[in-house]
Amino acid sequence: MMKLTDSPERYGLISRFLHWGMAILFAMQFASAAAHWALPRGSSLRETLWAYHVNLGVTLLLLVVLRGLWGLWNLRARPTEAGPMGKAAKAGHAALYALMAIVPSLKIIGAAGGTRGFSYLGFQIFPARETAIAWTKTISEWHGALGWSLAILVLGHIGAALVWHHLVKRDNVLKRMA
Ligand code: HEM
Ligand code: HEM
């Protein structure tokens, strides 16, 4: 029987579902960002991929909060690695969590202080303000650069899992999340 909670041997069903489900959603989010960056305004592919960026971005923030709480709940039972490589993996995962939370939050804070208001899935979250709050706009301008930093970190993470662990060391690190 597959366990719902994590154990030192492998991640449980809930952690694996959140990891792989969110990996697919992040791939879609980076596809929309790449289309926004690379394609000309008015391109139908750009419009199609961009249409979901805000709603998916907020959904990812809600999921990362849920996943972080589940991770903390399971912290003592999770697979760990000793030594400097284990410490590096922990730092890498912490950096992934930090950016997964900060990147969408910056834009939401920017929207809260902006003059256009903000809706999520059609529900109004922030009404339009008469005057913008300058600092919220300033910090929201870090969104794109930090979003691309997250993309690079994710590529490093995938390289570490697939190339280093699976192909070079041939250990069970990939299997415990698979
Ligand atoms: C984890 C979730 C998110 C990721 C990974 C992400 C990633 C990115 C990236 C990489 C860009 C740069 C695209 C370019 O260079 O043209 C971007 C742009 C943008 N994102 Fe997001 N985003 C996320 C969530 C959100 C949310 C929640 C909002 C709105 C509340 C949002 C609104 C925007 C807007 C308006 C832009 C275009 C302007 C700009 O670059 O600042 N994003 N996003
Ligand atoms: C093909 C894509 C991916 C592969 C092969 C992969 C592989 C793995 C593996 C094997 C682990 C377990 C590592 C360990 O136990 O030390 C893991 C954990 C983790 N991965 Fe990925 N991953 C992928 C995509 C992603 C993406 C897109 C993100 C985030 C944007 C991500 C974030 C994390 C985090 C934060 C952990 C730590 C455990 C947790 O709290 O869920 N991964 N990944």
Q: How many domains does the chain have?
A: 1
Separation of 98 CA from ligand 1 center, angstroms? Answer: 16
Mean pLDDT of the region 120-148:
97
Output the pLDDT for position 95: 98
Q: Give the tens place of pLDDT for each residue, 144-159.
A: 999 999 999 999 999 9
What backbone phi and psi angles, to 5 degrees, belong to 124?
A: -75, 125
98 located within any domain: yes
Q: Is the pLDDT of residue 1 over 80?
A: no
pLDDT for 2 equals: 80
175 part of a folded domain:
no
Q: Hunting for tokens 């920017």 — which residue is that?
A: 110
Q: Is the pLDDT of residue 122 over 90?
A: yes
Residue 162 within any structural domain of the chain: yes
What is the pTM (predicted TM-score) of this model?
A: 0.96
The answer to whether residue 5 sits within a structural domain is no
Which domain range does residue 91 map to?
Answer: 13-169
- Domain-located, residue 124: yes
Please write the tens of the pLDDT for every residue from 48-96.
999 999 999 999 999 999 999 999 999 999 999 899 999 999 999 999 9
Atom in ligand 1 nearest the alpha carbon of residue 37: 16
What pLDDT is attached to residue 99? 98
Residue owning the nearest CA to atom 28 of ligand 1: 54
How far is Cα 18 from Cα 33, in angstroms, rounded to an integer?
22
Q: What's the gap in Å between 176 CA and the centre of ligand 1?
A: 32
Q: Is any ligand 2 atom within 6 A of the Cβ of residue 94?
A: no
Please give the number of the atom of ligand 1 that sits closest to the Cα of 33: 13
Angle between helix 13-38 and 143-159 (nearest 10): 130
- Nearest alpha carbon, ligand 1 atom 13: 33
8 A C-beta contact, residue 105 and residue 150: no
- pLDDT recorded at residue 97: 98
pLDDT recorded at residue 154? 98
